[in-house]
């Protein structure tokens, strides 16, 4: 399985369960790993054959900007399901972290996997 990834995407989000969190933006960090058959774009050298990581990152930003999320779990699930559906990704791993959310920790968050990790592209 080939992987297309986006690491350390830093965004300002309205996220959290406390009233004070609902009034502010907080920094979050998103990592994506997405299964894709990279043989076609490797041979064609054409962006239209790729899983465009810029498109994926822009879609994540739009999802973050569009709503207040109480839980990082809901945001991660929203990102995974949206990207899988819209970009026809067979497998995805999404990490959403909240830097500084827990005193003494650099970051807390969740990592989820959705889809078929054993996916193999058709030849």
Catalytic residue from among 22, 27, 61, 98: 98
Q: Are 52 and 5 in contact (CB under 8 A)?
A: no
H-only helix segments in the chain: 39-44, 53-66, 72-87
Alpha-carbon Rg of the chain, whole angstroms? Answer: 16
The pair phi, psi for residue 51, each rounded to 5°, is -90, 105
Is 27 considered catalytic here?
A: no
Encode 109-122 in three state secondary structure.
EEEEEEECCCCCCC
Strands 2-15 and 68-69: parallel
Instruction: Return the active site residues.
Output: 98
């Amino acid at each position: 399985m080939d992987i297309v990834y986006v690491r350390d995407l830093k965004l300002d989000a309205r996220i959290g369960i406390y009233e004070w969190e609902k009034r502010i933006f907080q920094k979050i960090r998103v990592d994506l790993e997405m299964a894709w058959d990279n043989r076609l774009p490797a041979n064609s050298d054409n962006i239209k054959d790729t899983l465009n990581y810029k498109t994926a990152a822009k879609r994540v930003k739009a999802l973050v900007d569009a709503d207040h999320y109480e839980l990082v779990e809901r945001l991660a699930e929203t990102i995974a399901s949206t990207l899988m559906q819209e970009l026809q990704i067979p497998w995805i791993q999404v990490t959403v972290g909240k830097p500084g959310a827990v005193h003494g920790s650099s970051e807390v968050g969740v990592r989820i996997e959705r889809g078929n990790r054993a996916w193999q592209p058709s030849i």
